[in-house]
């Protein structure tokens, strides 16, 4: 998805350490992890709902009726 290499991640980590400091960085990373998990679960849920709607019988029946 993102083309981020090791050095870019290292640079982001160093900048975060300088900005937040060693005391607040672990708490920030924990919160960041929670937000990433939440976003992934919501994204997965939305994707599944869209797939269910696309492949539902009603959608397929409507598609067949329009082709006639």
Per-residue pLDDT for 58 more than 90? no
User: What sign for the dihedral angle of Cα 46, 49, 53, 54?
Assistant: positive
How do the domains of the chain map onto residue ranges?
Answer: 24-68
How far is Cα 38 from Cα 31, in angstroms, rounded to an integer?
Answer: 11
pLDDT tens per residue, range 30-53: 999 999 999 999 999 999 998 888
Report CA-CA distances (Å) from 27 to 22, 31, 34: 10, 6, 11
Residue count of the chain: 68
The pLDDT of 8-23, averaged and rounded, is 92
Above pLDDT 70, what percent of the chain? Answer: 81
């Amino acid at each position: 998805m993102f083309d981020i290499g090791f050095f870019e991640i290292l640079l982001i980590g160093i900048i975060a350490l300088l900005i937040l400091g060693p005391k607040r960085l672990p708490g920030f990373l924990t919160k960041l992890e929670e937000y990433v998990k939440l976003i992934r679960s919501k994204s997965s849920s939305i994707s599944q709902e869209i797939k269910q709607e696309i492949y539902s019988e009603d959608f397929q029946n409507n598609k067949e009726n329009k082709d006639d």
